[in-house]
Amino acid sequence: MAADGGEPGTVRPGGRTARVRAAVLRAAEDALIEKGFAGLDLADVARRAEAGKTTVYRRWGTVAGLVADLLQDMAERSVPRTETGSLRGDLAANARLVRETLADPRQGALFKALIAAAAGEERTAAALHRFYGTRIAEWAPVVERAVERGEAPAGTDAAEVIRAVSAPLYYRFLVGGGPLDEELATRAAEAAAVAARAGVYAPADTP
């Protein structure tokens, strides 16, 4: 779970292998932000990271392998959920976090490059879906707590509520265009909270 923890059980955290991995992944991020997935090249990443080219080829093999490891690392470093005591407050905190990430010039460019790469490459798509799976699972308990407090009906699909908060932000970011402003984040959270409360994310036959 550490920022540069390497492969659990195989590498001493903070050791040389972990340091090389951290440097290579940061270099891969830089290259993706500057040139996109199509411009990503293992030799260039090794040069930027001041790592041995042989090491990089041996450890990551391909550009897709490197990107999959970057997404794994991003999942490990992702920000833990906030619990405010109300579904509305928790979803608003999540929406703010998503908005800040996508609106940040570096992070936004990185996510755009990764999502574009996933659109054309199966292995990257699978790694991207795992990344979002981890992120959604981190936040889903805020909906489970809300169900326990009676703020949403039993059987509510917690993961779908969390995805519903992110969806309008990603839609504007990738598809519709326009500013990733706070109003968008606030509305996304409120819409998901209202719909969850109304039972939209619960099976129709739940009492």
Segment contacting its own copies by CB under 8 A, of 20-28, 137-145, 147-155, 174-182: 174-182
Query: Which 54-113 residues touch its own copies, going by CB under 8 A?
Result: 112-113
Segment contacting its own copies by CB under 8 A, of 52-60, 73-81, 85-93, 156-164: 156-164
For Cα atoms 97, 101, 103, give the angle at the middle one, nearest 5 degrees: 115
Give the whole-angstrom CA distance, residue 114 versus residue 32: 8
Q: Is 190 in the site for its own copies (CB under 8 A)?
A: yes
CB of 132 to its own copies, least distance (A): 5
CB of 44 to its own copies, least distance (A): 17
Which residues contact its own copies (rule: CB under 8 A)?
Answer: 36, 38, 112-113, 115-120, 125-126, 128-129, 132-133, 136, 160, 163-164, 166-168, 170-172, 174-178, 187, 190-192, 194-195, 198, 200-201
